[in-house]
Structure 1
Amino acid sequence: MLCPEVLNFPSPKVLTNHRKSENLEPITDVIKMNNFYKSIIITCPDELKTPNAIEELLLEDSDYYKISNCSLTEFLEPVFINSFVQNGDIYCLSANRNCMIQNCAAITPNGILTIHIVEYIYQTLGLEGTKRPHNFYEVNIDLKNLRHPEKIRNALSKLEQFNFYIIWEPNNEDICPSSIAKYFNDKNISVALCTQQVQQVTPVISEIPSVHDVDIEDMVEWIGLLAHNADFSDTENYISTYSLPVSEKSIKSTRISVLIVKGLFTPATLVKVCKSLSEYVSSRDLDHYWASISIQSCEDSLWKWNVGSPMMFQSHDSSCNVFFTESENILYSIGQLKYS
């Protein structure tokens, strides 16, 4: 059997962002730059359980919905636009799609319906779009200022039906977010309630490294191992053995709580959690204390790497890790394009 020339394969394209800030705003701006997140890891040293106030922010009113076999033309209905697009923030993403080989769609809080279409199908629609990598085109439809609705409706009716995950955050707090589920149910479109999946991990550790004297990459890796409840007990020194971060300013505690929540999260919710974590750290009277949040993106979704880059459907894997300390906030995000 011939051995493939593995050295000829290009390395994955990896993008990193490392910044420190005394204020929380530059950190939350990075989170608000994108819209679709699928899992959260919250780490609180010297705790056996994540503080209730932080956990409640993630789990209260956290339901989202899956609508099945829905035509894109449903989003052009005047009642849908007037009731939901004009009166709140919609986070809607096509479910269980591979944007490298399939059509995808999303609605973002600015009211833009973005459709990611294979080139040979796009050429049959008669819509204006932008060329994207891997033989795709992107069509953006402004639902708040819809022009030529019949032309667009006829074009979208040629596309297949989609399954979507959807969240609606109304501008008026007196209106129930579940109204959008009732709307689709009344139109005989299948709607299923989705809830967040929660896992509390209490790893066995001997001490907690300080974020102030350990490389940020090592801290992120360590938290990842905590989330997997890795065994940190001493073993024989094999070459592949993981070494714990060495910290002179370590927190002398054997307690640490790791909360893992999976589902669909909006930037607004994550910003609230970040503010709560920052306030919690400030309230702790413990030298070198820190807490962190790790946020994982939805892989086949609209994504923007930085302020100057375009937002487009990309098959990617990205995580944003924020460490909160009494003196500063530290962000380390890392992302990889699955196909560059």
Structure 2
Amino acid sequence: MLCPEVSNFPPPKVVSSYQKFDNLENVVEIFKMNNFYKSLIVTCPDELQIPSLIEECVSEDCDYYKVSNCSLAEFVEPVFIEKFIKNGKLYCLSADRKCIVQNCAAVTPEGLLTIHILENIFQTIGLEGSKRSHNFYEVTIDLKNIKNLDKLKQSLEKLETFDFYINWEPNNEKICPSSVARYFFERNISVSVHLLENKKVTPDIEEIPAVKDTDPEEMAEWVGMLAQQADLSPKETYISTYSQPESDCAMKTSRICLLITKGFITPTIVANVCRNVQSYVTSRELENYWMSVSVQSDENSLWQWYRSSPRMFQAHDSSTNVFFTEDSLTVYSIGQLKYS
């Protein structure tokens, strides 16, 4: 038998928030506060197919690229900065890394290269940085205003090479986003193209709870259970104590469809999905009708909990759930640090 003190671990630190808006752009700004997402779920009640305009947001022109064995010095090359940093929005994140034990890096749309470096390595490269938790330092380089380029390149070349996920949104619509892939290819750096993975789920349900008389946390959990195709009415409470939300205004329909998208997802993609979801909701004349968009963060990315808090690499889980009705938008967010 385990000693009770051995298994008495403290609960993880959880951050949650609940907000209500009548303006979609306020919601879009919440997603723009961070840059790197790994999954998106659209829940569409009273339908067996996702509306085509919504599905096209995650199926057309959503390619992203994986660059392998790339030195950070590549991002400070004047030609690269002129073409891709100053003339578009670059989303770039080190791939397949654990920021609690490994060096990580990211380039964000405002043109900042952020490097998350173990302390013993930081002390050897000759760059200025800020102390972070778990024996890490953070170095931030403004790529639009580089000084002492040669010295900076020498420092960056001391670090190991990285694999990166990259998405570039050019300012000029006539320029192809794949130009960034061609740039790395011409510099003899391995590049592969990737598509967002889409999956549709049509769970078996009896009715659909209404947003207006159901707790947002319960609604977000219900959508998660549907996405996982979990048992909504478990008979054995020892294994699962889950119970569905109770709603007096529930929609009496057994039709529901979910679109689950996974990959390297940018705020622009999320914003396009949200705009089309809102448009579809306002076109429906069914009483208490709603749709939702749920977005999950990349666990090993730069992350900012609030506008007043610093953006830094931290091992975390975070999801933002937006429920669209005809006259309002309800946002429920929850997240936790994996290591406090």
Q: TM-score, normalised by structure 1?
A: 0.97
Helix, strand or coil at the partner of 1:144: coil
Q: Relative to 1, partners in 2 of residues 1:236 and 1:110: Cα closer, same or farther, differing over 3 Å? A: closer
Contact 1:204 1:232 in 2 (8 A): no
- The change in CA–CA distance for 1:206 and 1:131 in structure 2 (over 3 A counts) is same
Structure 2 contact 233–243 (Cα < 8 Å) conserved: no
Partner of 1:316: 316
Moved more, 238-247 or 210-219: 238-247
2:88 is aligned with 1:88:
yes
Q: CA deviation at 1:320?
A: 0.5
**Does 1:249 find its partner at 2:280?**
no
Q: How is 1:18-33 mapped onto 2 (pairs within 5 angstroms)?
A: 18-33=18-33
Q: TM-score, normalised to structure 2's length?
A: 0.97
Q: Aligned partner of 2:337: which letter?
A: L
Q: Distance in 1 between matches of 2:31 and 2:134?
A: 27
Task: Tell me the distance in 1 between the aligned counterparts of 2:139 and 2:74.
Answer: 17
Aligned equivalent of 1:187 = 187
Q: Which residue of 1 aligns with 2:289?
A: 289
Seen in structure 2, the aligned counterparts of structure 1 residues 134 and 238 have a Cα distance that, compared at 3 Å, is: closer
The answer for unaligned runs of 5 or more in structure 2 is none
Residues 247-266 of structure 1 show CA distances to partners (whole Å, capped at 9, x for unaligned) of: 11001111001000100111
Alpha-carbon distance between aligned partners in 1 of 2:157 and 2:239, rounded to the nearest angstrom: 58
Cα displacement (A) at 1:246: 1.1
Task: Please say if residues 225 and 232 of structure 2, whose CA atoms lie closer than 8 Å, have aligned partners that are also in contact.
Answer: no
Q: Which range is displaced more, 165-174 or 231-240?
A: 231-240
Matched ranges for 1:61-140 at <5 A: 61-140=61-140
Instruction: Give the residue type in structure 1 aligned to 2:283.
Output: S
Question: 2:245 matched to 1:240?
Answer: no
Is the alpha carbon distance of 1:131 and 1:236 closer, same or farther for their aligned partners in structure 2, counting shifts above 3 Å?
closer
Query: Residues 210, 138 of structure 1: CA spacing in aligned structure 2 closer, same or farther, 3 A cutoff?
Result: same
Aligned residue identity for 1:300: N
Distance in 1 between residues matched to 2:62 and 2:93, nearest whole Å:
16
Structure 2 partner of 1:56: 56
**Aligned pairs, number:** 340
What residue ranges of structure 1 are gaps of 5+ in the alignment?
Answer: none
Matches of 2:163 and 2:240 in 1, distance apart? 43
Q: Deviations over 1:208-261 (max 9, x none)?
A: 000111111111111011101223357466683422211110011110010001
Change in Cα spacing, 1:249 to 1:115, as seen in structure 2 (3 Å) is same
Distance 1:242 1:8, change over 3 A: closer
Is the 1:318–1:334 contact (alpha carbons within 8 Å) kept by the matching residues of 2?
Answer: yes
What is the Cα deviation at residue 6 of structure 1?
4.0
Deviations 1:141-198 (CA, angstroms, capped at 9, x unpaired): 1111111111111111100000000000000001000010011011110001111111
Q: Which amino acid aligns with 2:157?
A: S
Shift of 1:10: 2.5
